[in-house]
Amino acid sequence: MTQQKPIIGCLALQGAVELHRPHVEACGATFKAVKTPAQFEEVDGFILPGGESTTMLKLIERFDLWDVLAKQFAKKPVWGICAGSILMAETVLVSLPSSSRWRASSEALAPPLSRGQALGSGKDEPQSGSHMDPRRLSVPSERRGDDRPVLQKSFGLLPITVQRNGYGRQIDSHHALIDGYEVSLIRAPVITAVDDSVEVLARHEDTPIWVKRGAYMASTFHPELTQDFPSPMHKAFIEIVRSSVQSAS
């Protein structure tokens, strides 16, 4: 009996969606861009793509998708990439006190990427609201008069803390080799803390950059921009999805 190809759904509200198609198909899986509840039901696992996390949150709220996505994520594998990792994190920091603000050094700047330039422009604007209150989106002022960090809401799928735009501004964007594969960090978040239950699959500049817990995976970089199909990260996620499908059958 021929094994059915797993269907990988990439949340297509905003961000780098189609760039995942050749990677997914090179792994022998079916790629599907999804944006409606009916389409969510059809897939075996989700990719939350890179882009702008606050824009994604606003669109999820506007189209009343939060509850249906939360239910889907509770029973299917999910991989969050850059902005997607922000949506998955249990705690998201928009800003930190100036005395403890994360500042990672970058050894090389990323040149323009012809297939992904849109990812490097107009990144997140400050927004608050903890994942503990998923029905509300409140937008604070861009400045605070104290040193308390501003939090952003999320689905809270992984017990990690993420500092949004942690590597710095656009000029600090750069490439790195992760698992022998060149990836792009474009105003990337930084994972500043992980629970002991989280497996760190790779580090960059002494911080976790690729993590996994059960059927949930997150990477703060973009592997989809590299045109060497498939990436090790896509391979790893689709194996997670295949295992999930087999367990459910």
Residues assigned a catalytic role: 82, 222, 224
Nearest to 230 by CA among 21, 11, 59: 21
Paired tokens of 135: 């029905």
User: Which amino acid belongs to residue 48?
Assistant: L
Q: How far apart, in whole angstroms, are the C-alpha atoms of residue 48 and residue 207? A: 21
CA atoms within 13 A on the CB side of 132: 3
Nearest-angstrom CA–CA distance, 84 and 115: 19
Q: Which are the contacts of 123, defined by CB distance < 8 A and separation ≥ 6?
A: 52, 165, 170, 187
Reported residue count of the chain is 249
Q: Structure tokens of 162? A: 């993420």
Q: For residues 51 and 15, is the Cβ–Cβ distance under 8 A? A: yes
The tokens describing 95, both together, are 């800003």
Contact between residue 208 and residue 194 where contact means Cβ atoms under 8 Å apart: yes
Map residue 8 onto helix, strand or coil: strand
CB count in 10 Å sphere of residue 19: 20
